[in-house]
Amino acid sequence: MEKEGESAPGPATGRAERPPTIYDVARAAGVSASTVSRAFARPGRVNAGTVERVRLVAAELGYRVNPLASALPRGRTSMLALVVSDVTNPVYGEIIRGAESAAAEADHVLILIDAQESVRLERGSLERILLGVDGVVLAGTRMSDSAIRTAARRRPVIVLNRDVADVPGIVLDDRHAMRLVAEHLAELGHRDVLYISGPEASWVNGMRWSGLREAAAALGQKVQRVGPFVPTVEGGRRAASALDAGRPTAILAYNDQQAIGLMRVLQSRGIRVPHDVSVVGFDDIYPARIVTPGLTTVAAPLRAQGEAAVTALLSSRSTPVPSRPMTLPVKLIVRGSTGRRRPLRIPPVALP
């Protein structure tokens, strides 16, 4: 692709003209179309000299193999899809990166679909491209288990952070994460923890809540939860209004976005973090380290998750579906938003 036969015959800069096909190249090179095809698809099958000649002529003509046409008989497109529930969520940035690089390495292109938090849109887009790709990674999908299974029956699918029967998945060790959080808070003296729920349809939300309860129970902490709230900064802001409930000294949000939104409202109300209340997030997205104070949060190996997803997808043609999803490790990143427990004084607040 660096040679780039820029010397295209059609100097017109307007719209596309009919691009050359293998037949055009074949004629110009004095060989048959099959030879041209082979020269590109399986060079070893053709005499080296012929390959070179064909390639040369092709370059002169500005020929490129038409991916659609070649995908049809082959049955494979060399394209993978990554469906995310919301591209504007920084969590996906790293996942995308990981997936993209693994795909590139395997000589596939990764196409990204943004569901914009809409199940309808998600299903629609998925439906449209499903047959056009070699496999799909579902990240943060809002679709039902059965819808996911239906898709998985038609093309290899791998789900992130969710356990769908018969569909391979990659999840985080939420249970362990919750233990880390509970222990950290316990060490700081916190005995009342509030959990801010994410979407009800979220599998991880359930995992985190039950993991937190379990860990807290083992440490003698009391936990409560409020929600659900949307997994965005705005959701965190809204959650602030539920704070009087339970008088927690520490709050764990479903994700960093919520935690950040929450902190902002608290601070604007004069409630100091972590002096008056500690806040913990989940994901360790970039903004978590630029807010003041820095957000204590659970770091997930997002990039690795993206890579693993694509790798698993590509190997799934040969490997049988493992019955249990792959679990990735997490760690706690302690920053400024958590501190020693203080006498509580959170006044009831209401949204403006």
Q: Check binding of 323 to a second copy (CB under 8 A).
A: no
In the list a second copy, DNA, none, the entry touching 124 (Cβ below 5 to 8 angstroms by class) is: a second copy
Given candidates 140, 156, 235, 306, which one binds a second copy under the rule CB under 8 A?
Answer: 156
Phi/psi at 158 (5° precision)? -135, 130
In the list a second copy, DNA, none, the entry touching 112 (Cβ below 5 to 8 angstroms by class) is: a second copy
Q: Tell which residue, 147, 149, 156, has the closest CA to residue 80.
A: 156
For 71, the enclosing helix (H) or strand (E) is: helix 67-74
Q: State how far the Cα of 320 lies from the Cα of 315, in Å rounded to an integer.
A: 9
Q: Check binding of 21 to a second copy (CB under 8 A).
A: no
From 22-30, 142-150, 186-194, 203-211, give the range in contact with a second copy by CB under 8 A: 142-150
Whose tokens are 């802001």? That residue is 237
Phi/psi at 139 (5° precision)? -115, 115
Among residue numbers 36 through 55, which ones bind DNA (CB under 7 A)? 37-38, 40-42, 45-50
β-partners of residue 193 are 223, 250
In the list DNA, a second copy, none, the entry touching 177 (Cβ below 5 to 8 angstroms by class) is: none
Q: State how far the Cα of 11 lies from the Cα of 17, in Å rounded to an integer.
A: 11
Q: Check binding of 23 to DNA (CB under 7 A).
A: yes
Whose tokens are 């690089």? That residue is 101
In the list a second copy, DNA, none, the entry touching 241 (Cβ below 5 to 8 angstroms by class) is: none
In the list a second copy, DNA, none, the entry touching 119 (Cβ below 5 to 8 angstroms by class) is: none
In the list DNA, a second copy, none, the entry touching 48 (Cβ below 5 to 8 angstroms by class) is: DNA
Given candidates 50, 116, 224, 241, which one binds a second copy under the rule CB under 8 A?
Answer: 116
Given candidates 36, 138, 152, 204, which one binds a second copy under the rule CB under 8 A?
Answer: 152
Among residue numbers 241 through 270, which ones bind a second copy (CB under 8 A)? 260, 264
Number of residues lying near DNA (CB under 7 A): 32
Given candidates 34, 45, 47, 69, which one binds a second copy under the rule CB under 8 A?
Answer: 69
In the list DNA, a second copy, none, the entry touching 21 (Cβ below 5 to 8 angstroms by class) is: DNA
Query: Which amino acid, one-letter code, is at 217?
Result: A
Q: State how far the Cα of 162 lies from the Cα of 150, in Å rounded to an integer.
A: 16
Whose tokens are 């790293």? That residue is 94
Q: State how far the Cα of 219 lies from the Cα of 174, in Å rounded to an integer.
A: 17
Q: State how far the Cα of 129 lies from the Cα of 120, in Å rounded to an integer.
A: 14
Q: Tell which residue, 185, 184, 182, has the closest CA to residue 174.
A: 182
- Residue 303, SS3 per DSSP: helix
Among residue numbers 66 through 95, which ones bind DNA (CB under 7 A)? 66, 69-70, 72-75
Number of residues lying near a second copy (CB under 8 A): 74
Q: State how far the Cα of 89 lies from the Cα of 233, in Å rounded to an integer.
A: 10
User: Which residues lie near DNA (CB under 7 A)?
Assistant: 18-19, 21-23, 30-35, 37-38, 40-42, 45-50, 63-66, 69-70, 72-75
